[in-house]
A and B are shown apart, each in its own frame.
Chain A
């Protein structure tokens, strides 16, 4: 067995238990007034090392020699497009990417892949990109895992970006996981905050784990690019300025790069979706309190007035009241809208994991003890079947619809 990478220096440990409290994984206990680490529970996160005031915990950091990373310049954003339309998450990435690039004194670049997509590059310049790399090929009309990954890998190897951001979408996560493995660099999933370390200039990538119960800040110190997927709706969209100037570069790739073994036979759009759940600013979500599937129509009426998407709890999906694609929560989608209206949802921890980072949460529930009220900005104790139609009517009046 290899020597453990973390150990307690018994002569320095005073038995103060600070590390026991600091360990997010319950891996430290006190034996004979000395700290002992259960290596089966320890994830080597280093929280105890930071907490210890006596330098009694030694964590061997990677023995990688510090590599010369100066060749890696610029902040890249993967511009996700669907049916030739740039997805809103791309503008959020450009907004955040601009700040990071300015702090580093680097350029902000976007990578746009598609077929007949070149005219869209100007939109990325207007939203802050200094350079747009365009690969315009019929094979790239829609997302295909292998050629998209291969093209990105080639561009990364050629241009050596310092940072690469991508939306934490279905497409984004499927794509950049392949890229990060191929170019052998770190990838941090579903970030909700990004910053530059003032000293090391590393990208500080903060993300929730354990369904949002803990937050971790992660760096990629010795590999480039520093790659991250970023949660929807958390970063502020870059404002479009049509007068901005930028460079649009068409990249030529070899046919072999576009090789694909898996291929799309057909695409079936979801009929009931008017607003994409992950991109929605407002979500009206229903649970068991709706009592029967027909009552989802009440939520759809409200959603229509508000321009909202319709979500659901696991209970409602498991009862087959609404398709799985609407499920919010741990086994469904994680959403972060400006306004989340939970109607007849009790608020199990798994549901809260998927929506508790929403800006404003409204809870409507008959049961005043329902856990959803613990996270709600505004709560109404009452029957959703009475409250929701009234809410729809009132909003119609106020919004003049």
Chain B
């Protein structure tokens, strides 16, 4: 079977610092990583391949340096990496991104399952996975926390909802987005690291894909960013001091109205 994972290279948020003078993001020296949610997608695809045979292809859209993310995926055991990179893709919103990824998947031809992380840690939209499914007219199971059964024709998976989970059956091909609960991503093996070093990453630009020009990049993006700003950082407030009974009393006095208001 052919499993496709869509991954994104993102800045490691743990490294993100705000420049106190200009109040902007300091990105210098910030490490780039595979979006944490996509690690679960890669792991799940690798587990399915181990069970069912076949291959795993990772696709990423981004600047040339996103190649590193694909090599990292290969070091975990992914067979092939495809990088969609072209200045014409710059400024893509979730509509254009999901369209471009969908067209690359269409070019790949036969596949059984597409797995995406539930969202990326920089944009946090959770829109690209369902967007790809829609462009390719596929059924989707979002927020998957567990794979129950899968064979060549059908998949049964658990979707995490706010009040529990639901078990959903869908025919293949199908698209899943996965949450952290689904598995624990493996570390790259030595063999994998060697494979990653040697791997040839396929690079496709706009001219290589069956895309319409007006549907990619900034021009193909219905949304436009008009302003970016840094929110005023939240400031620490009052530290209550004293013996436990005393501080608890002080705290309850300060919270009482909020609690009563919430209860009403």
Contacts and interface: CB of A to CB of B under 8 A. Distances in A.
Interface of A: 1-2, 4-5, 21-26, 39-47, 50, 60-64, 82, 145-146, 149, 169-171, 173-174, 177-178, 180-182, 184-190, 204, 208-223, 260-270, 273, 276-279, 281-282, 306-307, 323-325, 327, 330-332, 334, 338-339, 348-350, 353, 356, 359-362, 368, 373-382, 386-387, 390-391, 394-395, 398-399
Given A208-B231, A213-B16, A186 B95 contact: yes
Interface in B23-47: 24-28, 36-37
Nearest to A82: B163
Given A382-B247, A390-B245, 8 more contacts: A24-B228, A174-B143, A181-B131, A189-B125, A214-B231, A261-B174, A262-B168, A374-B234
Nearest to B64: A40
B255 interface: yes
A265 B181 CA distance: 20
Given A214-B229, A331-B180, A376-B236, A181 B163 contact: no
Nearest to B29: A26
Contacts of A39: 63, 87, 90
Contacts of B127: 173, 177, 180, 187, 189
Task: Specify the main secondary structure of chain A where it touches its partner.
Answer: mixed
A145 B260 CA distance: 38
A81 to B, nearest CB: 12
A174 B130 contact: yes
B123 A209 contact: yes
Contacts of B188: none
Nearest to B126: A173
**7 tightest A-B CB contacts, nearest first:** A186-B222, A26-B27, A40-B63, A177-B130, A262-B170, A186-B223, A281-B262
Contacts of A174: 130, 140, 142-143
B219 A177 contact: no
A261 B170 contact: yes
Nearest to B220: A62
B52 interface: no
Interface stretch (B53-61, B72-80, B154-162, B192-200): B154-162
A398 B251 CA distance: 12
Contacts of A362: 251, 255
Nearest to B120: A209
B140 A187 contact: no
A173 B93 CA distance: 16
Contacts of B27: 25-26, 41
Nearest to B180: A331
Interface string B109-130: 0000000000001111111011
Nearest to B98: A181
A338 B36 CA distance: 29
Contacts of A307: 262-263
A209 B124 contact: yes
A214 B162 CA distance: 27
Contacts of A268: 164-167
Nearest to B219: A62
B53 to A, nearest CB: 24
Given A186-B93, A216-B228, A218-B226, A264 B168 contact: yes
Contact of A215 (B18, B90, B229, B238): B229
Nearest to B15: A349
Contacts of A391: 248, 251-252
B65 to A, nearest CB: 6
Contacts of B18: 213
Given A24-B228, A213-B230, A378 B134 contact: no
A219 B236 contact: no
B134 A210 contact: no
Which among B13, B127, B141 has the greatest number of chain A C-beta atoms within 10 A? B127
A317 B215 CA distance: 41
Contacts of B231: 208, 212, 214-215
Contact of A379 (B159, B223, B224, B240): B240
